[in-house]
Structure 1
Amino acid sequence: MHPNAQLITTFYEAFQKLDAETMAACYHPDVRFTDPVFPKLQGDEAADMWRMLASRAKDFSLTFDDVRADDKTGEAHWVATYTFSQTGNTVVNDIRASFTFKDGKIITHTDRFHLWRWAGQALGLKGWLLGGTPLVKNAIRKQAAKGLAAYRKEIGRT
C-alpha cells in the first residue's frame, strides 16, 4: 500500500473510533479543508472541526472503502451514519473525498456530498423542500460556522 493510501486509511480508522487527535495528526499544519457545510477551513480550524464532531457524535458509525493514493493525490469513499443532534433525525451521509499531500501529511482535503440530501435527512421536511436553495444552504453554513466558533472558544482556540 502506498504511504499516502495508508495515511488516508489511518485517518478513517481513527474516525471510526472518533479519535480526532489521530485524525488531526494526519493533517499538515497548513491543511485546507472544504465540504458543502464547511467551505473554507484552514489549519487548526479543520482539526478542531473533527474534534467538535467527534465530541458530539451520537449513534455514530462509519465505513470507508475505495482508498487510492499516489505521491501527489488520493481519494476515498466513506459513509457516516449518526443522529443529528438538533433534530434527533438519523443521517446517512455518503461522501467522496479527495486529498493532496505535502511532507507526508494531508495538505488539502475536499469532501463532496449532496447538501440537499443531507438537509432532508437532518432537518426533515423543511430540508427536503428547501435544502437546495441558496438561502437554506447559507443558513446551514452560517450555523455550522457559529457552532465551530463556539467550540473553538470553549477549548481556548480563539
Structure 2
Amino acid sequence: MNENQKTLHKFYAAFATSNYQDMISCYHPNIVFTDPIFHTLEAKDALNMWKMLLEKGEGKTVIEYSNISANENEGTANWVATYLFSATNRRVVNRVRAKFIFQDGLIIKHTDTFDLYKWSQQAFGFKGYLMGWTSFMKEKIHENAVASLASYS
C-alpha cells in the first residue's frame, strides 16, 4: 500500500469513527472540496463542513468505504453514508464516488459525486421525488447547506 492509499484509509477510518482531527490531518491547508450539495468549499470552509456534519450526525452516521486506490498524484474511493437527515428526520443512504488529488503527501482536492435527485428523494420524500430533479430544488438544497455552514462557523 502506497502513502496516498494509507492517507485515504486514514481519512475514511476517521470518518467512520467521527474523528474530525484525524480526517482534517489528511487535508492540505489549501484543500478544495466539491460536491453536489455544497458545491465548492476551500480551506477552512471544507474543514468546518466535516466538523458540522460529524457533530450533527452525533456519532449515528454509519460510514462504509471501499475500492480505495491511489498513485503518487491522484486517487479514488467509494463510500456510503447512512444517516437521518436532520431537517426531516428521514433515513438517507448516500452512495458516493470520491476523487482526490494529492500534494505534499496530503489531499489538496477532494471531489465527491452522487445522484442529488436520489438523495433528495430520500431526504425529502414525496417533495424530493416531485421537485428534486429541478434546478430550483437543487439550488435551495445548496443555499440551505451553505447557510447552515455559515451559521455553524
Superposition deviation, residue 41 in structure 1: 0.2
CA distance in structure 1 between the partners assigned to 2:25 and 2:48 by the alignment: 12
Superposition deviation, residue 56 in structure 1: 0.6
Note the alpha carbon deviations across 1:90-120, whole angstroms, 9 max, x for none: 0000000000000110000000000000000
* Partner of residue 54, structure 2: 54
CA distance in structure 2 between the partners assigned to 1:73 and 1:128 by the alignment: 35
Unpaired runs of at least 5, structure 2: none
Partner secondary structure for residue 39 of structure 2: coil
Report matched runs for 1:42-81 at 5 Å: 42-58=42-58, 59-81=60-82
* Partner of residue 121, structure 1: 122
Superposition deviation, residue 20 in structure 1: 1.2
Partner secondary structure for residue 86 of structure 1: coil
Taking structure 2 as the reference length, the TM-score comes to: 0.98
CA distance in structure 2 between the partners assigned to 1:15 and 1:51 by the alignment: 10
Partner secondary structure for residue 40 of structure 1: strand
Report matched runs for 1:77-92 at 5 Å: 77-92=78-93
CA RMSD of aligned residues (A): 0.7
CA distance in structure 1 between the partners assigned to 2:14 and 2:108 by the alignment: 18
Superposition deviation, residue 42 in structure 1: 0.3
The code of the aligned residue for 1:84 comes to F
* Partner of residue 34, structure 1: 34
The code of the aligned residue for 1:62 comes to I
Unpaired runs of at least 5, structure 1: 153-158
- Whether 2:30 is the aligned partner of 1:21: answer no
The code of the aligned residue for 1:69 comes to A
* Partner of residue 145, structure 2: 144
CA distance in structure 2 between the partners assigned to 1:136 and 1:64 by the alignment: 29
CA distance in structure 2 between the partners assigned to 1:100 and 1:42 by the alignment: 14
Superposition deviation, residue 83 in structure 1: 0.4
Q: Percent identity?
A: 42
The code of the aligned residue for 1:109 comes to H
Report matched runs for 1:1-20 at 5 Å: 1-20=1-20
